[in-house]
Amino acid sequence: MNLTDPVHKKVIGIIFIIFSAFGLLSILFYDQFMDFIIRMAAQDGDMLPEAAWIFDFISSLLWGIALIFFIPRIIIGIGLVNQRKWAEVPALVYGIISLINIPIGTLLGVYCILVLTAKKRTEEDY
């Protein structure tokens, strides 16, 4: 398998875009779900109004993580799909970071490292 083929970088870009979009959708779902739960608890009187800031803090923290990881990864994925040279180094960094996300992220990280560090073959290698 020739890992220097540009189609591999496009595949990584598409996977980056899809996983980041799913991540953003899951954070949006969590945010809306927790707002619903907090409103229901406040309506029943089971929750102290002073405790609502904790859930807002957690939601803000998750959106901050989304800004750091998901949004740039979508931009990098678009760059890889369009075969931009500037997207390769950040994609390698995010590929290494995704090794932590077991099992799918580990597979994506290994594939990303293999593709982005592959050397072009010379005529003598064939």
Digit-coded pLDDT (tens) for 26-61: 999 998 998 888 888 777 776 676 777 888 888 899
CA distance 79 to 24: 19
**Residue at 95 is within a domain:** yes
The residue among 27, 55, 59, 58 whose CA lies nearest residue 41 is 55
Q: What is the pLDDT of residue 125?
A: 56
CA distance 126 to 28: 50
**Residue at 124 is within a domain:** no
Q: Which domain holds residue 38?
A: 6-116
What residues in the chain have per-residue pLDDT under 50? none
Q: What is the pLDDT of residue 51?
A: 74
**Residue at 125 is within a domain:** no
Q: What is the pLDDT of residue 122?
A: 64
Identify the H or E element spanning 108. Answer: helix 104-116
* Number of domains present in the structure of the chain: 1
**Residue at 122 is within a domain:** no
Q: What is the pLDDT of residue 50?
A: 73
**Residue at 112 is within a domain:** yes
Q: What is the pLDDT of residue 113?
A: 93
**Residue at 104 is within a domain:** yes
**Residue at 41 is within a domain:** yes
